[in-house]
Amino acid sequence: MGYFAKFAVPHPSPAIYASMIAIVVTVFLIIFGLTYFKKWIYLWSEWITTVDHKKIGTMYLIAALLMLFRGGVDALMMRAQTAVPDNKLLDSQHYNEVFSAHGVIMIIFMAMPYIMAFMNIVVPLQIGARDVAFPRLNAVSFWLFFMGAMLFNISFVIGGSPDAGWTSYFPLADNEFSPSVGTNYYMIAIQIAGIGTLMTGINFITTILRMRAPGMTLMRMPMFTWSAFVTSIIIIFAFPVLTIALLMGTMDRLFETKFFAMTDGGMDMLWANLFWVWGHPEVYILILPAFGIFSEIIPTFSRRNIYGYKSMVISMVVISLYSFFVWTHHFFTMGQTAYVNSIFSITTMVIAVPTGIKIFNWLLTMWKGRIRFTVPMLYSIAFIPLFTIGGVTGVMLAMSAADYQYHNTMFLVAHFHNVIIPGVAFAVLAGSTYYWPKIFGFMLNERIGKWAFWFLTIGFSLAFFPMYITGLDGQARRMYTYSEASGYGLLNFVSFIGAAFMAISFVLIVYTIYYSIRHSPRHVGGDPWDARSLEWATHNPVPEYNFAIIPQVDSREPFWDAKYKRYELFKGDYKKIHMPNNSGVPFIMSALFFVFGFALVFSMWILAVISLIGIFICMAHRSFEIDHGHYISVEEIKETEVKMGGNHK
């Protein structure tokens, strides 16, 4: 029993045991379903081995929805625990694990894959490409993310969850204060997923620079593609910092190297600096693609081109630069000099200016527009005032002297969620509805979607606005309980009601998908929204080759011009199309990364070495593999175009 004891959860509870049962039952049902319906070969050949950017994007989307549910349950547990004074629903240890897991899952394993989903699905279509620059690498990126997410999520049933917060500050995260393997999971799982994200950044920079359609200059690219391009640049500069920080943290925990210790020459503040050098650009890695989504939706449903295109592009570039000069505002209270705090206080305020420019551009785009209040547009409109409130409270926090009062209170929690939920969650939900017919070939039900929107918006306001008040009143964040005499009870209960409304919204979103699968009409056409950019110039759902003929671009809105200015978008005749072959190597190599990570978590060195050798074998196999892809013949293209309603030549 001694060997197996280290895999036991150090702080078990009924919720943990219920989770174990749920995991076993879910795995059994999946295996049974795949076997009963004889879908193993289909799953392997069509999805696990795919290198198609659209299918990879769809898998990112499904994974993000699952992680939204997982992180949402954690959030609901936290709000339930603090709903009333002296609550005993969770003990302090379990609460620490829940809020640590919630932050990591929502940022790294929910918001990031949601953004990657839209980058994969939309960017190649918007630039008139047939795939990304490196399709095989794209598959590796997804499966590394997936394996990292799975490794992190098994922690709460095997070995114990991280409990040092989503920032995992040292020395709290070292072996002395976090003796369980939970923080090992944190260091290694995020590392594996982060390598995949770094590959994605490299892939999309290359794709956007080298694979745009003829005539599409940089200043003719759609706003979402610009946001993906700028985001990818931030990724390749920010994620190596996280990679090194996590490597050093892993070595501290596994080999006692003392990089972040408070003795023997270590420096605990080094972790805080490295983490936030990545962490604040990470906020913009999430928010800039969200801005890009809104910049596609608002012009479409205002029936106007985006106001101030050049200023929108410049503001994104400026935001990306400034995002690397504000990291210290995350620890104003941790001992810098007044001079250092003043510098970072100024840069934090300045970064609000280009963001404000974008707000005014969206408002001016809607000005005098013929607005259609669809579900995507409702999310986009609600985002503007809610995000602005979050931004204004961010400027309040930028004042370092005032931040000494705000920082470790619920005021900061309210601010952060006031930025991320309207800024990212609203964007991805709007984008999911907007691009759903492009991905699956049918529309999501508008009526149920609007119910979900109102429950989410009202629930969000009820959940987080009271936190500003309790924070100013002194309620500390990360506090798992409080006394009745504190007076926080009523507002915290209101916050719990808001969280329940948000949970209802998620249920409605899932029901919208189910109802639409059952009842929504198919064959909605390639352009159900009367949109403006190139992704709507092909069929719904998109064929393997994206475009039968590569479009010829002559303006910023070539598809709109083709519809209303009699501009010919597709010139020439069909030619055979070269496409990459599927491969199982990315999945196999990523599965070996999972085994390698699991072995490191528990210091199983023989298994770690064996799996590492397997990873290198996969790399060597790819290096020597001869794979020239395959061609889609002209006859196949004509047949597909006729079947999907196109005009063959």
Does 606 map to a domain?
no
Read off the pLDDT of residues 285-314 as tens digits, 9 standing for 90 and up: 999 999 999 999 999 999 999 999 999 999
Mean pLDDT of the residues in the chain: 94
Mean per-residue pLDDT for 386-400? 94
Q: What is the pLDDT of residue 475?
A: 95
Query: Is the pLDDT confidence value at 534 over 60?
Result: yes
Q: 300 lies in which domain range? A: 2-583+627-643
Does 612 map to a domain?
no
Query: Is the pLDDT confidence value at 20 over 90?
Result: no
Q: Rg for the chain (alpha carbons), in Å?
A: 25
Q: What is the pLDDT of residue 9?
A: 87
Mean per-residue pLDDT for 463-482? 95
The CATH code of the domain that includes 520 is 1.20.210.10
Does 13 map to a domain?
yes
Tell me phi and psi for residue 135, to 5 degrees: -60, -40
Structurally, the chain folds into a number of domains equal to 1
β-strand partners of 579: 630
Query: Is the pLDDT confidence value at 2 over 80?
Result: no
Query: Is the pLDDT confidence value at 648 over 70?
Result: no
CA distance 138 to 51: 7
Q: State which H helix or E strand residue 577 sits in.
A: strand 577-579
Helix-then-strand count for the chain, H and E: 23, 2
Does 597 map to a domain?
no
Does 615 map to a domain?
no
Mean per-residue pLDDT for 533-560? 93
Read off the pLDDT of residues 329-344 as tens digits, 9 standing for 90 and up: 999 998 888 999 999 9
Mean per-residue pLDDT for 10-25? 85
Q: What is the pLDDT of residue 317?
A: 96
Does 617 map to a domain?
no
Q: How confident is the model at residue 4 (pLDDT cuts 50, 70, 90)?
A: confident
Q: The pTM is what?
A: 0.96
Does 632 map to a domain?
yes
Read off the pLDDT of residues 475-512 as tens digits, 9 standing for 90 and up: 999 999 999 999 999 999 999 999 999 999 999 999 99
Within 10 Å of residue 388's Cβ, how many Cβ atoms?
A: 15
Query: Is the pLDDT confidence value at 1 over 50?
Result: no
CA distance 423 to 414: 14
Q: What is the pLDDT of residue 10?
A: 85
Does 601 map to a domain?
no
CA distance 557 to 222: 8
